[in-house]
Homo-oligomer: A and B are copies of this chain.
């Protein structure tokens, strides 16, 4: 989902009354970012509070390449990483993930091995349908075991876009919340729905209801579901004791437009890029009785802050034996403070850009290669800024391109290198970059090796269902990451 996909963020169809209302009752973040322009690394960052380059969710197979966790990926979340649910357990929390995990699908990466107590969802994206000989369909798990596969047992009609998965995920959320309320147990629910990821889907009652086509139908179903979750919290009388945050893991995928692609509002490009459209996200905090209604914040925020903020809410300290990139947003949310901190925009192993205040410096620019672009893969459809949306990797480390995101949110007008404003802003940003690089200890890259043998051939529980498939022989290779 992109920054521009909600009514409250200016989507012209304005079809998200529940999320708009959530913002009206809570705090809207206008300058909130993912940790990566792609899903898996962003989710790993959310759950670890650390940049992908630290937690291992990146590749060194090529320079500045986006990587994720397709089902032939060998790596996943390292045991050495401490995940939010692992830490929350210490404060008595019960943790559930509903939906897409995406932090690795081999047994050692299973979410229940990393702090979650319950899971209903899938380890990878709902791509497919596959043929079960070259590639198996993605399984869905309930807790430790698979309970079926996409397209086989959990239908997604690729022609109509119909699938009832968001409803299943909603029911899981409501049931879990009810159960926790009944047992008076504190809980962490990671509600990781994926209906807006291509192939986009929606339940029958939402199909055709949006001005925006299927993508809008999916957004409407998510909006409706969020409304039901918030209402459920209120009806159970625990809304004033439950902190809720809504955001996304990367900008809208414009390659899927217009049928299955969302909106990044006035920003440049989309998913896969380190322009604003790739990483600035809708973000809303909600906590009635604590967050003043109708709040708006320009705090530079990150999905990694949800790690630190959640720990703070639970009265826990973040781990002190490692670098944590997330910050505790409670002073921002509860007292309206603004905390000075930069945003680092990585693509794989390269720091592409840095934002400090309203200034954003690009050290490298790249949309995608001419080769990919020639195949019709366009991360910036209808947009082209000379020297900025480049189709070759352009290094600007000696003379970064600098934008003022207040006057120029669309990153169209680099500041003059000769201006005093440029000099002053770059002096500040260069210091931040130097400090960041000097102290950076990169993690072991997890997204380098692919192997057909590790795909979801025989997930745990497949025997009971008669759903085991025979894996091919192991043949590990360097993964190919074209972008």
Give A residues with C-beta under 8 Å from B.
4, 7, 9-14, 28, 30-31, 210-213, 215-216, 257-259, 263, 265-266, 268, 296, 298, 358, 381-385, 404-410, 412-413
A-B contact pairs, 17 of them (CB 8 A): A9-B10, A11-B266, A12-B266, A14-B28, A14-B296, A211-B406, A212-B406, A212-B407, A215-B407, A258-B404, A259-B407, A263-B266, A263-B409, A266-B266, A382-B383, A383-B384, A384-B384
Within the complex, the shortest CB–CB distance from A207 to chain B, in Å, comes to 14
Are A10 and B11 in touch, CB under 8 angstroms? yes
Are A382 and B406 in touch, CB under 8 angstroms? no
8 cross-chain pairs, A with B, having the tightest CB-CB distances, nearest first: A10-B10, A211-B406, A213-B407, A382-B412, A258-B408, A258-B413, A258-B407, A382-B385
Q: How many copies does the complex hold?
A: 2
Residues of B within 8 A of A215 (CB): 407
Residues of B within 8 A of A28 (CB): 14
Alpha-carbon distance A213/B381, docked complex (angstroms): 28
List the B residue with the shortest CB-CB distance to A412. B382
Within the complex, the shortest CB–CB distance from A338 to chain B, in Å, comes to 13
Residues of B within 8 A of A257 (CB): 408, 412-413
Within the complex, the shortest CB–CB distance from A352 to chain B, in Å, comes to 19
Residues of B within 8 A of A409 (CB): 12, 263
Within the complex, the shortest CB–CB distance from A108 to chain B, in Å, comes to 42
Given contact pairs A11-B266, A14-B28, A383-B384, a sample of 4 additional A-B residue pairs in the complex whose CB atoms are under 8 Å apart: A12-B31, A258-B408, A382-B383, A384-B384
Within the complex, the shortest CB–CB distance from A392 to chain B, in Å, comes to 19
Alpha-carbon distance A383/B14, docked complex (angstroms): 24
Alpha-carbon distance A404/B384, docked complex (angstroms): 22
Alpha-carbon distance A77/B212, docked complex (angstroms): 41
List the B residue with the shortest CB-CB distance to A31. B12
Within the complex, the shortest CB–CB distance from A305 to chain B, in Å, comes to 19
Alpha-carbon distance A384/B268, docked complex (angstroms): 13
Are B258 and A412 in touch, CB under 8 angstroms? yes
Are A10 and B265 in touch, CB under 8 angstroms? yes
Alpha-carbon distance A216/B28, docked complex (angstroms): 20
Residues of B within 8 A of A258 (CB): 404, 407-408, 412-413
